[in-house]
Structure 1
């Protein structure tokens, strides 16, 4: 066997019914999880793993393929396989839309990015009037036209989220909401200035694998799922005033909520 650093990788269990390539993947995954291979570190080469475990090159490649499919590693042609750096975790907290943030002139994304010590950015901004999909229309009370605001969010230059907001056109047309930069506090602050004091939000959250377009937009590594969140904002009259359809890189978020026990 080749001499790898002591304790980094063990031996195969010949009595196990688990496939050999999966045993190798398990050991590499454990070494990554325990920090034996740091973010950005190069894994042992295929040749080193072949010698260490006494298996075929195809077995080693199958093991590495498992880790790539899980989004733990990435391959660089001619250089090797490396532990994939993970973006800063942004905590999606239950108070992210608290009025105090809007009153301070900060959007939810800005507040949480600053709390994480990250630099927030927004790009790929598009604002236009359009006909809503049947689902968006039903959530907003069946308007025939909406104002759509699409944008991508980045932390320290890395895309982590893409969001599209849809507002009834009678609320948003010819207001700051229709401008590329709606001003301090974002569109929720503008809605309240227009007399639509926000009362509550409803959210639907699910995890799924990304579409090819989402992989490109968020620069997702192979195997990384997304969190798909649809939020509807209601004013104090019970009117739905905005629907936000958001797709987030799942490895960039922790969902944290405080729920009453009564």
Structure 2
């Protein structure tokens, strides 16, 4: 009798062969069970396996869909801040990306690790700005970005809590207000995607998200912490490796010979 892994392999083969179109739901569990001549539970486990693997994603009652192939080239973060007519951006490959859905702004409590970076007490309220972005005409986002801003700064600059912050966004408003340049530091990590991220990014529970945590400072003051999440299989971090003085060339021993 075929195992759920055998059925998963057959579904994967049929997906690769283009049996079902991307963007349309694949047949339901009952139809898959009949198609592959297996029990309903076996078909169900096979689909769950492929969702966890990342080939498929579920939209609840709407059905299970084939996950679109990864875009090429992979968007790479390269440790540079750029600027165009719309303001600062950090991914050259995503320069033309725009918002997907409606961004939100609310006062709330940040995660403890974000509170530590902001220098506020655990449980203290901050301004939280959520935004989802993707390529032009995208039906769902490929990145989720959440900005956390200290209420002390929002009190001085209320526009930071507004739906529209003007040309250049919050970074331009902060630099104008403080009359100083923002400096950024990013940390890249990964973790399992939570339920909301799985739903918004169309990924299964088995796929992690890449998390880029950006701390924005003006002098010694942290003015924002931004957490951007993206499917870990679709993004890469790219940067130039520079030599420290301890690794200079020619090597010290060779220069003395």
* TM superposition shift of 1:124: 3.8
RMSD between superposed Cα atoms in Å: 4.1
Aligned position for 1:173: 155
* TM superposition shift of 1:257: 1.8
What is the alpha-carbon distance in structure 1 between the residues aligned to residue 153 and residue 60 of structure 2? Answer: 52
Identify which of 123, 127, 138 aligns with 2:102: 123
Q: TM-score, normalised by structure 1?
A: 0.65
Aligned position for 2:6: 23
Q: TM-score, normalised by structure 2?
A: 0.66
The answer to whether 1:227 aligns with 2:210 is: yes
Identify which of 120, 132, 135 aligns with 1:153: 132
* TM superposition shift of 1:197: 0.8
Q: Secondary structure at the match of 1:163?
A: strand
Aligned position for 2:116: 138
What is the alpha-carbon distance in structure 2 between the residues aligned to residue 111 and residue 184 of structure 1? Answer: 19
Long gaps (5+) in structure 2:
244-257
Q: Secondary structure at the match of 2:36?
A: helix
* TM superposition shift of 1:108: 2.6
Aligned position for 1:6: none
What is the alpha-carbon distance in structure 1 between the residues aligned to residue 63 and residue 226 of structure 2? Answer: 41
CA offsets, 1:132-153, max 9 Å, x none? Answer: 6543332123479664132231
The answer to whether 1:185 aligns with 2:168 is: yes
CA offsets, 1:151-176, max 9 Å, x none? Answer: 23143242444433223344343423
1:1-262 equivalence runs, <5 A: 20-33=3-16, 38-40=21-23, 42=26, 45-50=32-37, 56=39, 58-73=41-56, 82-85=65-68, 91-95=75-79, 97-98=81-82, 100-101=83-84, 104-108=85-89, 112-115=93-96, 119-121=98-100, 123-128=102-107, 134-142=112-120, 147-155=126-134, 156-175=138-157, 176-193=159-176, 194-210=178-194, 212-215=195-198, 218=200, 220-223=202-205, 224-235=207-218, 237-250=219-232, 253-262=234-243
What is the alpha-carbon distance in structure 2 between the residues aligned to residue 181 and residue 76 of structure 1? Answer: 31
- Contact 2:105–2:128 (Cα < 8 Å) also in 1: yes
Q: Secondary structure at the match of 1:148?
A: strand
- Contact 1:207–1:228 (Cα < 8 Å) also in 2: yes
CA offsets, 1:47-74, max 9 Å, x none? Answer: 2322xxxx55544443233213334235
Residues 244 and 22 (structure 1 numbering): CA distance in 2 closer, same or farther, change over 3 Å?
Answer: same
- Contact 1:146–1:167 (Cα < 8 Å) also in 2: no
Q: Secondary structure at the match of 1:173?
A: helix
